[in-house]
């Protein structure tokens, strides 16, 4: 997921709007970036699109599309298509909630799968019920990226 | 080589429900895109589906974006992709107990709008990693009622495939994965959601579907209940009851009817825990309930279900915190627990009081069988009768968590793998070395167990997971194609000889997505007449056996056949072109379009014509000669921007009406 992502960020979601893109509706969120761990933006924010939404009374809802809560902060693994649409990797797999533990550390978590899996290239993907401090997550990202931050 | 794809599928349904009416639906099924007409019990599910009365001959036209994919596997082509899409649609067309039919309506220009119902298939680079494809029925808020109850009409369905096919799929358009995905996505476009019966509408992580046998009993029941053919509902029975947890109804619990001799049929509970499994063939069944599995990569909700919502617009999430159990509240079903189902009747009172758990348990298991001769693992997990076969399984909860300090995999403590009622032995539970997160067991099936799908039970202390069709008993190995060559049939007509092994009486041969006509047959030689294709066209050739196995099982790379220049009648003249008159079709009334071809070989009963929009209905195609067609159409609106697509076998000729001809046969991109 780290290598497949075009951007990895920690940021806060701002209120959204929905719009057609071709025949499909996407709900767009503005993510104000607190930190980039892969990729960059000169604006300090990016536009995140999630399949589904409501436009002029027409509603489209992708099964599995997450609903982001405005004002809430997330740790996000993002992917930008050739046409410039930025989405969360694997609908929800790249979406992590952020909370604070008893020690005051930021913790990223995603309750879901509990098994080691392979990605399409046959490589192991550690998808186990992920919960770790943000510092640990950042360290893992930097390790995979060779410490380049890109 | 053992493969594990963790890429999922997603589906979407669009609906705005302006108002609800309290009406009864005979098509009670819960893996549809479902809405409720109330916010409290009793709940009456309202599915979204096509309005058959708004269709010509109950047929939904589907249209394929003329842009096509941007990248193919070597040897693959856009006409080959089109033929596979059409073949996938035909899988659903062959369900005799369903009234709905799908028909290829030609290529369309992206952005084409249409007022009549239809399905648009486009190629996009916006599908994020983790997904194979996305599809959705789209609806507006109006309700409709017919003899099968109240529903929300689907006005348009979208199927979005990746534009760069090699980036996403494991093989070319003829591959098992691509084809099963197409069948799955067509199910979504007609209103089917995911199910948990190892059928084609199961998520990719649990399906046992194969190209040779894609539909399970659950798929057939699902489409047949949504669009029942006459007399279907009277030919099947139902099971109903309630699932409760600490006295409260459990929402979106999966309830499954299953027997050793029948595939599984499933449904999901209503918000108050009530359920009814319809479409069950008469017989004896075990019934079990289990929670929806946690989402895996590419999934955003348990089983990637688009949750139902109530009349207040509130989405109703599932309760997944309970333990799987059979009726009557047991984890060790015995023959006296079987439930009788009679046609036209509802077996009532099959109630469950489930036990809560905070453990995710085992879920999303997929199995593969090891073929020792080919040294490969194959989907569908075919197991030879009277032999011992290794079956590998991957899924949630089978192994202990793997950490960076782990050097090997360990089976989850207490894990046991068993069978539901089938005479077989299972033993030698083991793991593989990293990076292969699988368990394996050896399965020895008794000779008298009979062919077909068998169901696996994965148990840990206090918990249970049932995998319908965990493996399939077969009488012989998969078919093998070893060589192809030009030949003549018994009448001296040009044909193709196919040498191989394990051909069965009902073996089908496909050239890309089109079937060949089998003229002569033995177990190791077939003489076939291929479908028409342009001279020089190269088609992949695949054998499909009725036991669900294909020649791709052992050789994922299919042999190819190149059509010769002089092999008439099935090799078509290269370089076809069309002149269509008139070039603009006026709206209203029946209208005849004349198509004059150059270098064409139009064939009665084979050549089809489409205009890329549901607003031009093709009533009849008359082949006047190999170079002339007369097409009777009924346009509902003027469609000056539409295309005309003339398809003869694997030859696709498409052009914009009133513009220059663009032949797209065999670009071999």
CB environment B340-365: b (16+ within 10 A), e (fewer): ebeeeebbeebbbebbeeeebbbbbb
Classified by CATH at the fold level, domain B363-474 comes out as: Immunoglobulin-like (2.60.40)
Better-predicted residue by pLDDT, B483 or A131: B483
Enumerate the H helices of B476-564 as residue ranges.
Answer: none
Of B124, B300, B360, the CB nearest to A64: B300
Q: How many Å apart are CA B501 and CA A69, to the nearest integer?
A: 59
Partners of residue A60 in chain B, C-beta under 8 Å: 12-14, 136, 138
Of B11, B15, B125, the CB nearest to A63: B11
Burial class (CB in 10 A: 0-12, 13-18, 19+), B230: exposed
Classified by CATH at the fold level, domain B577-663 comes out as: Immunoglobulin-like (2.60.40)
Q: Do B10 and A63 touch (CB under 8 A)?
A: yes
Cis peptide before B304 (omega within 30 of 0): no
Q: Do B7 and A120 touch (CB under 8 A)?
A: yes
pLDDT mean values, one per 10 residues, chain B (669 residues): 30 27 38 87 90 94 96 96 98 98 94 87 89 83 88 90 93 95 94 88 82 94 96 95 94 92 89 94 96 70 78 82 93 93 96 89 89 85 91 90 79 94 88 88 85 92 92 93 92 92 96 96 94 93 96 94 74 83 79 92 94 90 96 77 88 75 38
Best of A1, A114, A127, A137 to mutate (most B CBs within 10 Å, chain B): A114
Can you read off the two tokens belonging to residue B42?
Answer: 């009793």
* Dihedrals phi, psi of A104, to nearest 5 degrees: 85, 5
SS3 assignment for chain A: CCCCCCEEEEEEEEEEEEEEECCEEEEEEEEEEEEEEECCCCCCEEEEEEECEEECCEEEEECCCCCCCCCCEEEEEEEECCCCCEEECCCCCCEEEEEECCCCCEEEECCCCCCEEECCCCCEEECCCCEEEHHHHHHHHHHHCCCCCC
Q: How confident is the model at residue A150 (pLDDT cuts 50, 70, 90)?
A: very low
Of B126, B402, B409, the CB nearest to A81: B126
Domain extents for chain B? 8-226, 233-354, 363-474, 480-570, 577-663
- The CA-CA-CA angle for residues B228, B234, B236, to 5°, reads 85
Q: Do A116 and B399 touch (CB under 8 A)?
A: yes
For residue B300, the model assigns a pLDDT of: 62
Q: Do A62 and B11 touch (CB under 8 A)?
A: yes
Partners of residue B165 in chain A, C-beta under 8 Å: none
Of B4, B6, B16, the CB nearest to A58: B16
Min Cα separation A62/chain B (Å): 4
Partners of residue A123 in chain B, C-beta under 8 Å: 435
Q: In what order do the strands lie in the sheet with B661-663?
A: B608-610, B643-648, B651-656, B661-663
CATH code, residues B8-226: 3.40.390.10
B393 within 8 A of B440, measured Cβ to Cβ: yes
Q: Do B130 and A60 touch (CB under 8 A)?
A: no
Residue matched to tokens 């929009």: B613
Partners of residue A65 in chain B, C-beta under 8 Å: 10, 12, 300
Of B16, B299, B396, the CB nearest to A115: B396
Q: Do A114 and B360 touch (CB under 8 A)?
A: yes
Q: How many Å apart are CA B316 and CA B511, to the nearest integer?
A: 46
Domain extents for chain A? 7-144
Q: Do A118 and B401 touch (CB under 8 A)?
A: no
The beta strands (E) that lie in B269-362 are given as 274-280, 283-290, 325-326, 339-341, 346-347, 352-354
Of B136, B141, B193, the CB nearest to A60: B136
Which chain B residue lies closest to A79 (C-alpha atoms)?
Answer: B128
Q: How many Å apart are CA B608 and CA B572, to the nearest integer?
A: 15
- Has domain A7-144 been given CATH number 2.60.40? no
Best of B128, B165, B296 to mutate (most A CBs within 10 Å, chain A): B128
ipTM reported for the complex, 2 dp: 0.76
Which chain B residue lies closest to A130 (C-alpha atoms)?
Answer: B401
Cis peptide before B42 (omega within 30 of 0): yes
Enumerate the H helices of B152-293 as residue ranges.
Answer: 165-168, 176-189, 217-226, 232-235
- Predicted TM-score (pTM) of this structure: 0.89
CA distances from B460 to B320, B353, B425 (A): 18, 20, 19
- Which of B467, B608, B658, B640 has its CA nearest to residue B82? B608
Q: Is the pLDDT of residue A91 over 80?
A: no
Of B10, B122, B434, the CB nearest to A124: B434
Q: Which residues contact B421 (CB under 8 A, 6 or more apart)?
A: B259, B260, B286, B333, B335, B455
Q: Do A63 and B401 touch (CB under 8 A)?
A: no
- Which of B107, B168, B24 has its CA nearest to residue B652? B107
CATH code, residues B233-354: 2.60.40.10
CB contacts < 8 Å between A and B, how many? 174
Q: Do B296 and A127 touch (CB under 8 A)?
A: yes
Given this structure, which CATH class describes domain B480-570? mainly beta
- Which of A34, A96, A93, A14 has its CA nearest to residue B130? A93
Partners of residue B124 in chain A, C-beta under 8 Å: 22
Partners of residue B13 in chain A, C-beta under 8 Å: 60-61, 63
Q: Do B298 and A118 touch (CB under 8 A)?
A: no
The reply to whether B233-354 shares the fold of B8-226 is no
Crossing angle of the two packed helices B78-93 and B176-189, in degrees rounded to 10? 60
Q: How confident is the model at residue A103 (pLDDT cuts 50, 70, 90)?
A: confident
Q: Do A115 and B305 touch (CB under 8 A)?
A: no
For residue B641, the model assigns a pLDDT of: 58
């Amino acid at each position: 997921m780290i290598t497949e992502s075009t951007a990895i960020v920690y940021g806060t979601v701002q209120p959204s709007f929905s719009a057609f893109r071709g025949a499909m509706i996407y709900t767009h969120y503005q993510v104000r970036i607190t930190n980039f761990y892969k990729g960059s933006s000169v604006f300090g924010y990016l536009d995140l699109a999630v399949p589904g939404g409501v436009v002029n009374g027409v509603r489209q809802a992708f099964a599995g599309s997450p609903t982001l809560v405005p004002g809430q902060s997330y740790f996000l693994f993002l992917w930008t298509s050739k046409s410039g649409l930025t989405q969360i990797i694997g609908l929800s797999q790249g979406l992590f909630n952020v909370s604070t533990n008893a020690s005051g550390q930021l913790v990223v978590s995603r309750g879901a799968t509990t098994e080691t899996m392979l990605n399409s290239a046959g490589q192991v993907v550690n998808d186990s019920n992920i919960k770790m401090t943000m510092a640990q997550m950042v360290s893992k990202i930097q390790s995979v990226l060779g410490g380049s931050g890109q | 080589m053992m493969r594990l794809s963790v890429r999922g599928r997603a589906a979407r349904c669009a609906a705005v429900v302006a108002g609800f009416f309290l009406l009864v639906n005979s098509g009670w099924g819960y893996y549809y895109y479902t809405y409720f007409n109330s916010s409290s019990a009793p709940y009456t599910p309202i599915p979204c589906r096509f309005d058959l009365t708004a269709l010509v001959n109950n047929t939904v036209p589907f249209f394929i974006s003329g842009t096509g994919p941007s990248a193919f596997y070597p040897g693959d082509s856009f006409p080959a992709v089109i033929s596979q899409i059409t073949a996938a649609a035909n899988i659903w067309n062959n369900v005799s107990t369903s009234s709905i039919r799908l028909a290829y309506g030609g290529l369309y220009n992206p952005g084409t709008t249409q007022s009549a119902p239809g399905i648009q298939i486009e190629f996009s680079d916006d599908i994020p990693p983790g997904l194979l494809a996305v599809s959705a029925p789209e609806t507006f808020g109006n309700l409709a009622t017919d003899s099968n109850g109240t529903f929300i009409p689907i006005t348009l369905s979208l199927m979005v495939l990746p534009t760069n096919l090699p980036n996403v799929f494991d093989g070319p358009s003829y591959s098992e994965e691509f084809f099963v995905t197409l069948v799955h996505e067509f199910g979504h476009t007609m209103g089917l959601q995911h199910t948990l019966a190892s059928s084609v509408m199961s998520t990719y992580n649990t399906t046992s579907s194969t190209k040779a046998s894609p539909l399970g009993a659950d798929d057939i029941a699902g489409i047949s209940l949504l669009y029942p053919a006459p007399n279907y509902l009277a030919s099947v029975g139902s099971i109903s009851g309630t699932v409760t947890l600490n006295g409260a109804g459990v929402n979106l619990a999966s309830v499954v009817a299953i027997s050793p001799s029948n595939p599984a049929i499933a449904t999901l509970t209503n918000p108050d825990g009530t359920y009814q499994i319809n479409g069950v063939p008469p017989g004896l069944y075990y019934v079990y309930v289990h929670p929806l599995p946690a989402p895996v990569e590419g999934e955003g909700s348990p089983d990637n279900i688009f949750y139902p919502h109530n009349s207040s617009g509130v989405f109703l999430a599932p309760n997944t915190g309970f333990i799987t159990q059979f009726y009557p509240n047991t984890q060790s079903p015995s023959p006296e627990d079987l439930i009788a189902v009679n046609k036209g009747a509802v077996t009532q009172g099959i109630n469950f009081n489930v036990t809560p758990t905070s453990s995710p348990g085992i879920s999303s298991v997929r199995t593969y069988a090891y073929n020792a001769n080919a040294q490969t693992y194959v989907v569908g997990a075919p197991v030879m009768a009277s032999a011992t076969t290794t079956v590998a399984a991957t899924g949630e909860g089978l192994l202990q968590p793997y950490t960076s300090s782990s050097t090997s995999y360990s089976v989850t403590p207490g894990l046991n793998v068993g069978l539901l009622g089938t005479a077989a032995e299972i033993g030698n539970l083991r793991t593989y070395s990293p990076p292969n997160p699988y368990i394996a067991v050896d399965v020895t099936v008794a000779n008298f167990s009979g062919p077909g799908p068998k169901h696996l039970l994965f148990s840990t202390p206090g918990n249970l997971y049932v995998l319908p069709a965990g493996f399939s008993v077969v009488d012989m190995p998969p078919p093998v194609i070893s060589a192809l060559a030009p030949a003549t049939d018994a009448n001296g007509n040009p044909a193709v000889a196919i040498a191989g092994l394990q051909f069965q009486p009902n073996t089908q041969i496909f050239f890309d997505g089109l079937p060949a006509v089998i003229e002569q047959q033995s177990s190791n030689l077939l003489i076939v007449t291929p479908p028409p294709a342009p001279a020089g066209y190269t088609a992949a050739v695949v054998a499909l056996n009725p036991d669900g196995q294909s020649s791709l099982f052992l050789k994922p790379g299919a042999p190819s056949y190149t059509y010769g220049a002089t092999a008439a009648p099935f090799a078509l003249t290269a370089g076809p072109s069309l002149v269509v008159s008139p070039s603009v079709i006026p709206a209203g009334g029946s209208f005849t379009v004349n198509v004059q071809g150059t270098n064409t070989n139009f064939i009665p009963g084979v050549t089809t014509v489409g205009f890329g929009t549901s607003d031009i209905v093709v009533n009849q195609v008359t082949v006047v000669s190999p170079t002339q067609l007369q097409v009777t159409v009924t346009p509902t609106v003027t469609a000056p921007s539409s295309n005309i697509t003339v398809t003869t076998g694997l030859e696709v000729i498409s052009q914009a009406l009133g513009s220059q001809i663009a032949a797209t046969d065999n670009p071999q991109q």
